[in-house]
A and B are shown apart, each in its own frame.
Chain A
Amino acid sequence: MTDFLEITVDKFTFKVASDRRYSAEGMWALEEPGGRVRIGLSDFQQQRSGDVAFAEVKPAGTMLAAGDEVAVIETIKVNIELGSPLSGEVVEVNPLMELEPERINQDPYGAGWLAVIDAADWVRESLNLHDPQAYFELMKKEADEEIGNI
């Protein structure tokens, strides 16, 4: 069962799953057996972005470098291009994204995953990502700034 780091800022509660790594832009990456890495959007990033109307994920077979666009989500507030937290080939896309993209909001660390990447060099690239505690601190700072400015 996944543990979470959690903070409440004003009326919002944000969770950071403690079993994966994060890009500064709020994409998570969870290593799975066989050199594959599942990716998705952090709870903070999904709450900040708003209710998702549409999610378009790059199809299986797409080759990505870290930072390349892996998905575009359209929310009630904004359109966001999401950069892949790692290099590799997209080998699986969450089929729920086509008809139930709201899963990103409902369960960002579970059913709302975006894609599975066959990692090119996870050992090296994972070092470029934040561990949960570091991302938690970054998120807290951003949440304080953003909500403090509302």
Chain B
Amino acid sequence: MTEARRIVIVPCSGIGKTYGTVSREAAYDLTRDIRPEATWLVPLSLLVLGDEQARADVDGSQAITIDGCKLACASKMVAESGGRIAREIAVLDVYRQHRDLKPEGIAKLNRAGLELAKTLAQELAAFVDSLEGQEGEAHHA
């Protein structure tokens, strides 16, 4: 799959925020380890700064946004940059489903936080697979 066809992943850029850190850990897990061929990480901070390459990567691409809080900066910036949001997810909503994985820590997450990030990444990997499946079906149709 070419970079242009990869699904763009945009996590929260909140530094010093536990849930923002979870969103980034999940994005790293997904784009580096779990689905590196199918996904492409775009830092939210570059979109905010108006980086041309980052905006070009997002513009017209399918995107998954991972927000650390309800301000939903990642989702808003991706929409503003012309991305097609296939799924927007908030870390808080994932935590609600896994209350035993309470994230703590900021620069360094606790074990539960890392586990929550992995859980989120796996959930998104399944979603990526379903998107690719739909795309494949569309090509064959």
Chains A and B bind each other: yes
Interface, chain A (partner B; CB < 8 A): 50-51, 53-54, 76, 102, 105
Q: Which residues of A contact B92 (CB under 8 A)?
A: 51, 53, 76, 102
Min CB gap A77→B, angstroms: 8
**B139 close to chain A: CB less than 8 A:** no
Q: A76-B18, A76-B19 are in contact. Are A50 and B96 (CB under 8 A)?
A: no
Could you list some 12 contacts between A and B, CB below 8 A? A50-B69, A51-B69, A51-B70, A51-B92, A53-B92, A53-B95, A54-B99, A76-B17, A76-B18, A76-B69, A76-B92, A102-B92
- Give the distance in Å from the alpha carbon of A102 to the alpha carbon of B17 in the complex: 19
A102 contacts which of B18, B19, B70 (Cβ < 8 Å)? Answer: B70
Kindly list chain A residues whose C-beta atoms are within 8 Å of the C-beta of B69.
50-51, 76
How many B residues have CB within 8 A of the partner chain?
10
- B69-80: CB near A (< 8 Å → 1, else 0) gives 110000000000
Minimal Cβ-Cβ distance residue in A for B69: A51
Q: Pick from A54, A76, A102 the residue with the most CB of B within 10 Å.
A: A76
Distance of B1 from chain A, by nearest CB (Å): 35
**A105 to B99, alpha carbons, bound, how many Å?**
19
- Using CB atoms, name the residue of chain B closest to A100: B96
Residues of B contacting A54 with CB < 8 Å?
A: 96, 99
**A78 CB to nearest chain B CB (Å):** 11
* Contact partners of B95 in chain A: CB under 8 A: 53
Chain A minimum-CB-distance residue to B19: A76
> B99 contacts which chain A residues (CB < 8 A)?
54
Residues of A within 8 A of B68 (CB): 76
CB distance from A113 to the nearest CB of B (A): 19
Chain B residues contacting A53 (CB-CB under 8 Å) are 92, 95-96
- Kindly state the separation between the CA atoms of A54 and B68 in the bound complex, as whole angstroms: 16
How many angstroms between the C-alpha atoms of A105 and B70 in the bound complex? Answer: 9
Closest to B17 in A: A76
New A-B pairs, 16, CB < 8 Å, besides A53-B92, A76-B69:
A50-B69, A51-B69, A51-B70, A51-B92, A53-B95, A53-B96, A54-B96, A54-B99, A76-B17, A76-B18, A76-B19, A76-B68, A76-B92, A102-B70, A102-B92, A105-B70
